Amino acid sequence: MFSNQYDVIVLGAGASSLMLAYMAAQRGRKVLVMEKANKVGKKILMSGGGKCNFTNLYVEPENFISHNPHFVISALTRYTNWDFIGLVCEHGIEYEERKHGQLFTLNGAKEILSMLLAECNKTGRVEIKTSCEVKAVTPVDDQGFQVATSVGYFQAESVVVATGGLSVPTLGGSGIGYDIAKQFGHYVHPTRAGLVPFTFSDQFKEVTTRLSGNAVDATLSNDLNSFTEALLFTHRGLSGPSSLQLSNYWNVGQSFHINFLPYLELVDFFKTKKTSQPKVLLRTLLTEHLPKSVVLELQNLIWAESADIAIANLSDEKLEQIAQRLHAFEVKPSGTEGYRTAEVTLGGVDTTEVSSKTMESKKQKGLYFIGEVLDVSGHLGGFNFQWAWSSAHAASQYV
Ligand SMILES: Cc1cc2nc3c(=O)[nH]c(=O)nc-3n(C[C@H](O)[C@H](O)[C@H](O)COP(=O)(O)OP(=O)(O)OC[C@H]3O[C@@H](n4cnc5c(N)ncnc54)[C@H](O)[C@@H]3O)c2cc1C
């Protein structure tokens, strides 16, 4: 039924690709989707702990990191979180709202993937080839492009690069999108792992190892940003939403601060207790607010020499010092867990050389970039998928 000639070839069969494929096909375009893995949408299936945090109730340009922060506005405005929620509802997919407006499916990420595939099928114009690894894209005079793959050559008028970033190679992470961009003269911002746990090699690593499995609500901050969410101690360092979020704003060699008690004004709390419970020890007071094992480690790190002194016998100055360190405990990670576990790749194809309206390359007619391959990364909370949906929709109207 199909020859090797298509209107549109989409490289990769992840979130942005499948979205674009059905929307372009709805416009009458004949679309071929190429995926190197033997299955499509692997990241969708693994996302959100298997429940896919598919979007967020509160999507703002500030939720995205890019060297060109205004780039996202046009696409996000034309295909919003409510458009995607509408699609999810049309398909009868049940979902729930969790903290911070995050929306997750109730019955599993496979429903989101099935929805996209059903939309592709409905058009009758989308062909999906799995185990088809893209090797090279070559422009053909006035006729679009030739795509060389592990299973042969294919031609199309438009080529859409939707191959994602480098994160989690076992789920398809690859650098081919960056190579193609460079080949056509695009600048690619240096990439690094984002939304990724921190690792430590100093004395603090022993602390996190001993506390492994414990979680507290904390604020992690540096000069660039601050996030108050769960902080999880691991055998290798720090994870949990607050760490993943801050990792997007952290570089090797930098330190950051942890506020272990963001909801308590500790100086006032200590002063009140000094009068009302003069004989109490600090660790006893703090175990009302933090797990005991965490308090004992913090005691070792911060007030070991005063551990057994009643609060009434600690000077106000000493209490202020302790409070200050509990509110702003400085740590210096040695690194992150890297692309192996990172949810996203920071950096990527420079967006000043791509149209924010159509996602088309300003350097090569008919070549488009969508999703994570671009220099756009979202915060944790469904923003990366929303970018995949919105950027795909933008390009789908023009490919
Ligand atoms: C474990 C995990 C959990 C996540 N959870 C969430 C979440 O809950 N919410 C959220 O918003 N975001 C989440 N993300 C991020 C989100 O999955 C990505 O941002 C999103 O999938 C990017 O979409 P994309 O279409 O650009 O790329 P992808 O979905 O990564 O798709 C790219 C596709 O291209 C294929 N490909 C690569 N190279 C080639 C080649 N040479 N030839 C052919 N095909 C190729 C890959 O195999 C892959 O299928 C998560 C990421 C991970 C790793």
Each residue's pLDDT tens digit, 253-302: 999 999 999 999 999 999 999 999 999 999 999 999 999 999 999 999 99
Report, as an integer, the average pLDDT of 143-158.
96
Q: With pLDDT > 90 as the criterion, what percentage of the chain qualifies? A: 97
Nearest to 218 by CA among 233, 207, 203: 233
Tokens of 205: 């690593």
Instruction: Kindly report the pTM of this predicted structure.
Output: 0.96
Q: With pLDDT > 70 as the criterion, what percentage of the chain qualifies? A: 99
**pLDDT for residue 1:** 40
Report, as an integer, the average pLDDT of 129-135.
97
Tell me if 59 CB under 6 Å of ligand 1: no
Domains of the chain with CATH codes:
5-193+343-396 (3.50.50.60), 197-336 (2.40.30.10)
Report, as an integer, the average pLDDT of 188-200.
98
**pLDDT for residue 143:** 81
Q: Which residue has the tokens 């019955």?
A: 107
**pLDDT for residue 294:** 98
Neighbours of 324 (CB within 10 A): 13
Which atom number of ligand 1 is nearest to the Cα of residue 12? 34
Contact 198, 251 (CB under 8 A): no
**Region of poorest pLDDT, from 9-18, 110-119, 138-147, 156-165:** 138-147
In the reported structure, the alpha carbon of residue 355 is separated from the centroid of ligand 1 by a whole-number distance in angstroms of 22
225-230 long-range contacts, CB within 8 A, separation 24+: 225/249, 228/259, 228/262, 229/99, 229/100
- Burial (CB count <10 Å: 0-12, 13-18, 19+), residue 288: exposed
Q: How far apart are CA 39 and CA 32, in angstroms?
A: 15
Nearest to 234 by CA among 260, 261, 210, 259: 210
Q: How far apart are CA 383 and CA 54, in angstroms?
A: 8
Neighbours of 341 (CB within 10 A): 16
Nearest to 238 by CA among 137, 341, 324, 151: 341
Tell me if 56 CB under 6 Å of ligand 1: no
Contact 394, 357 (CB under 8 A): yes
Which tens digits make up the pLDDT trace of 74-115?
999 999 999 999 999 999 999 999 999 999 999 999 999 999
pLDDT at 201 exceeding the cut of 50:
yes
In the reported structure, the alpha carbon of residue 78 is separated from the centroid of ligand 1 by a whole-number distance in angstroms of 22
Tell me if 14 CB under 6 Å of ligand 1: yes
**pLDDT for residue 107:** 97
Instruction: Evaluate the CA torsion angle 251, 256, 261, 263 in order and state its sign.
Output: negative
Q: Give the mean pLDDT of the chain.
A: 97
Nearest to 195 by CA among 235, 227, 233: 227
Report, as an integer, the average pLDDT of 338-349.
97
pLDDT confidence band for 141 (50 / 70 / 90): confident
Which tens digits make up the pLDDT trace of 10-25?
999 999 999 999 999 9
Nearest to 156 by CA among 12, 3, 8, 1: 8
Residue in 20, 34, 47 to alter for ligand 1 test, most ligand atoms within 8 A of Cβ: 47
Q: How far apart are CA 128 and CA 21, in angstroms?
A: 9
Q: Which residue has the tokens 């997919």?
A: 93
pLDDT confidence band for 323 (50 / 70 / 90): very high
Q: Which residue has the tokens 């600048």?
A: 187
Residue in 151, 384, 396 to alter for ligand 1 test, most ligand atoms within 8 A of Cβ: 384
